[in-house]
Each structure stands twice: as structure tokens, then as C-alpha cells.
Amino acid sequence: MTSARLTVRRCGHLALATGACVAVCLAGGTPAASAGQPGRLDVGGLARTYSLHVPAGLEHPAGLVVNLHGAGAIGAGWEWETNYDAVADAHGFVVVYPDGIDFSWADGRGASVPDRQGVDDVGFITGLVAKLVSDFGVDPGHVYATGMSAGAFMANRLACERADVFAAIAPVAGTLGVNVGCAPSRPVAVLVTHGTADPVVPFNGGPMVGRGGPSDIISAPELAARFRQAGGDVVLKQIDGLGHIWPGDAAEASAQFFASHSR
């Protein structure tokens, strides 16, 4: 097991995410247009939707990445904002962008409509993973999750509850609610990326108010410590002065992290 804390400078280019309370920091300033394929999966009586990207001519996927949008967004919009398709092409990953109910996730904090309605997002996402692993011949030991803000909270819950499914996660600007237990059944590799100046999801934890309402959360260092206790390779990437944004290198950094962690 290894761990580290990285301090990097703030990126200078920001683009506001349409329909979501997030910002994206991209080297080129403007992401490429989405070319995802829409999909549907019926889970628990609900028709759940997603956007799927498969690199052209890919015969043997290096893995499957679940990329989760923040509150107020949808999967296809998040696909466009993060430009993750290009990174997936370079690394040979199939990448899926699920849609949350009411543009959010049941991440366990109780601060979203799907949480309050008892939506089983853990079941939806793991069911979607099972389908795509089967459809595209993905090695089950090469399944990963990333996401920002509410999407990061959801990715963390997935690792806490379904460590048997996810080999590694890369949450950005999201931790866990203080009321959310986390006892992974096996080690999960985790790349935590969080800005110290995040005004929405405080780096040091405490009260926060998101789209769905207030919640109390743990700090980014505490999140890393919890996963480290389970024995996984955990990296805390602390970005001094960074606010509530997706850093320009987040997609590539997560893909490289995933490529080096499998079961």
C-alpha cells in the first residue's frame, strides 16, 4: 500500500458547465462534442438511462469507467463537459455516463430527491456495470468509477458498499456524509482530488448545502484515511486554492490511475 499528498497549482482556464453547479478546467478551454450512444436499463420498476462511449474499433477493452455527473446535470452533458471520451479512446476504456433521478444521486446523505425516495442507485449502477461487462467482454477486475461533486459522493458510496465490483475510484470534489458508513469488503484503490478553496464541498468537511439541501460531510483527508484503513492504494491530491471545479488534468489523471490498478 502506498499513499501520498500532492499539491499542484490552479489551472487558469475555466468553462462553466451548462445546467450544473460545477465548472470544468480544460487545457484547451472547449471540450469536444459528445458522441455517446443513448441507452436504457430497467431497474426496480424504473427506466434508467445513460450515455455510452466505446472507442472505435475496440476489440479488447482495457476496462470500464463509470463517470458520474454532478447535481443538476445529465450523463450526456457531463460526457461533453469532461471530454472523457478522448481519454477513453487513448487508454482503450469503455466509458458510461449514467443519468441520476432528478439530476442527482442517492449517495446516502439524504440530501437529494432520489435519496429521500429510496432510489437504489447502487443497484442501478452495479446492474449497468454487469450488463456492460458482459456486452463488451470487459475483465471484471478492470471496473472503475469517477465523478464530481454529487457524482463523487456516489462514487465513494459505490466503493464503500461494492468493493467487489470496483477496483479503483477517482472522486473529485466529493467525500461522504457523516451518516454514511464505509467498510469496504476488500481494498479499493482511490485517487482523491479536492481543492482547498472549494466553497461548495469544504475540503475540511462540516456543513454544506447542495442542490437537494443541507448535509454534514467528512473532510477529504478523512475520506482518504477511511479507504486507507481498508488496505487500498490511496492518493490524496490536494489542490491548493482550487474551488469547486473539475481540474483540466482530472480525466487523464484518473485514467492513468485506473490503468495501473486492477484485480
Find residue 147's DSSP bridge partners. Answer: 68, 171
Whether 149 sits among the annotated catalytic residues: the reply is: yes
φ, ψ (nearest 5 deg) of residue 218: -85, 165
Angle at which helix 150-161 crosses helix 121-136, to 10 degrees, equals 80
Which residue in 149, 254, 260, 262 is the catalytic one? 149
User: Among all residues, which ones are annotated catalytic?
Assistant: 149
